[in-house]
């Protein structure tokens, strides 16, 4: 078993809050010198902080230089400039840390058009990445796997014959679809994203869920996933019927029927199954229990390697039929996982990915990109995809 499979789980801290703007010019003017002083102190503190960089953020401010002098006019002029800068910074949202991406909805409410650009979507990505880094109070220390599952399940309802389902609509917000058995536990992912949606209210839930899934993959050291916006949210009448997502208790025929309905072939079925390298099952959701790999918050080809290298036997317990590894009895595989190595057409793909992580990443990135676009009626001109910078770049 590869040592790389035993990756340590990530840990982190808590989200920031923002301050309220002043309501009168008099109060603002009175506080301007103090605000300018606070800005200077905060800039100095920020420069000494050490943390990951995010692509939508600028560099830290340089240390303000100090100088001595006795000319009162110079000091009065400097104070006037600082006071003006403090007033402008406060009124424009600088002290609240509000980016142009966050202010965009305000412009829209006032009647001005706001068309998000690549940097605005990058800002959303960065906010998700930051939240993933700071919140370690979920499975194995990361919300990443459940965010990927949210994007996957929102997209995997597509039916190519009827053109219904898919990521367009975010209809899992409503009880009929949100209550489907396959979507049990996904409220945690939707709730995790609510503060980010409140911060960037111009983005649709449909775009946010798939963007967050892309972010989760990349932040868990997976491949770059090209992504494009353009999904629109829909009402409850567009909820898909139950039964469109895979049933883990089934075999290879079921996999071909479910994924074939979406338009995927055998190789793509195996590539998408590689997402099981991440996360774990829960008895209070699917009924199954345990992780697939020793590193459930890092995406690698270990899922395929373990499928082939380990000896798997039925677990003796009161739950549904699942498999466990013979050595540690800490890992599990589902019947649909085992179908990949038992089927004569699936198995060669499993073997190829087990030997070549780069081949797996390449195919996984391509098929996930397509999965997240199923059923989306992109408008003319929305064919340009974004490749987000991760916090590791």
Contact 15, 134 (CB under 8 A): yes
Q: What angle do CA 354, 392, 374 make, to 5 degrees?
A: 60
The CA distance from 321 to 354, in Å, is 25
Kind plus residue range of the DSSP H or E element containing 36: helix 25-48
The CA distance from 269 to 252, in Å, is 10
Contact 205, 233 (CB under 8 A): yes
Q: Which of 137, 110, 143 is nearest to 279 (CA)?
A: 143
Contact 207, 368 (CB under 8 A): no
Catalytic residue among 209, 227, 292, 312: 292
Contact 279, 138 (CB under 8 A): no
Q: What are phi and psi of 128, to 5 degrees?
A: -65, -45
Catalytic residue among 153, 180, 252, 276: 153
Q: What are phi and psi of 111, to 5 degrees?
A: 105, -10
DSSP 8-class letter at 275? G
Burial environment of residue 82 by CB neighbours within 10 A (0 to 12, 13 to 18, 19 or more): middle
Contact 332, 315 (CB under 8 A): yes
Establish whether 292 is a catalytic residue: yes
Q: Which of 276, 279, 292, 264 is nearest to 156 (CA)?
A: 264
Burial environment of residue 381 by CB neighbours within 10 A (0 to 12, 13 to 18, 19 or more): exposed
Which residues are catalytically annotated?
153, 292
């Amino acid at each position: 078993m590869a040592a790389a499979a035993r990756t340590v789980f990530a840990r982190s801290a808590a989200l920031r809050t923002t301050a309220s703007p002043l309501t009168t010019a008099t109060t603002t003017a009175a506080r301007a010198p103090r605000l300018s002083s606070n800005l200077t102190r905060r800039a100095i503190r920020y420069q000494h902080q050490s943390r990951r960089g995010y692509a939508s953020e600028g560099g830290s401010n340089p240390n303000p230089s100090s100088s001595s002098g006795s000319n009162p006019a110079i000091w009065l002029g400097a104070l006037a400039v600082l006071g003006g800068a403090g007033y402008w910074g406060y009124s424009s949202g600088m002290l609240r840390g509000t980016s142009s991406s966050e202010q965009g909805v305000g412009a829209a409410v006032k009647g001005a058009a706001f068309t998000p650009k690549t940097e605005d979507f990058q800002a959303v990505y960065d906010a998700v990445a930051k939240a993933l880094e700071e919140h370690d109070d979920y499975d194995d220390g990361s919300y990443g796997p459940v965010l990927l599952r949210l994007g996957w399940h929102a997209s995997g309802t597509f039916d190519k014959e009827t053109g219904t389902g898919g990521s367009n609509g975010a209809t899992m917000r409503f009880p009929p679809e949100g209550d489907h058995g396959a979507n049990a536990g996904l409220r945690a992912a939707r709730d995790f994203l609510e503060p980010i949606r409140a911060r960037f209210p111009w983005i649709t839930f449909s775009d946010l869920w798939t963007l967050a899934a892309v972010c989760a993959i990349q932040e868990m050291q997976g491949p770059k996933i090209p992504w494009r916006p353009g999904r629109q949210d829909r009402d409850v009448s567009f909820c898909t019927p139950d039964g469109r997502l895979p049933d883990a208790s089934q075999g290879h025929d079921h996999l071909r029927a479910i994924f074939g309905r979406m338009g995927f072939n055998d190789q793509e079925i195996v590539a998408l199954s590689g997402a099981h390298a991440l996360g774990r099952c829960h008895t209070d959701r699917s009924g199954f229990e345990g992780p697939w790999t020793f590193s459930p918050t890092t995406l690698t080809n270990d899922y395929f390697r373990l499928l082939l290298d380990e000896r798997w036997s039925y677990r003796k317990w009161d739950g549904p039929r699942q498999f466990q590894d013979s050595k540690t009895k800490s890992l599990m595989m589902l019947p649909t996982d085992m179908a990949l190595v038992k089927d004569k057409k699936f198995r060669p793909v499993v073997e190829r990915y087990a030997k070549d992580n780069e081949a797996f990443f390449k195919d996984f990135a391509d098929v996930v990109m397509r999965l997240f676009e199923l059923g989306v009626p992109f408008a003319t001109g929305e064919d340009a995809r974004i490749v987000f910078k991760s916090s590791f770049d």
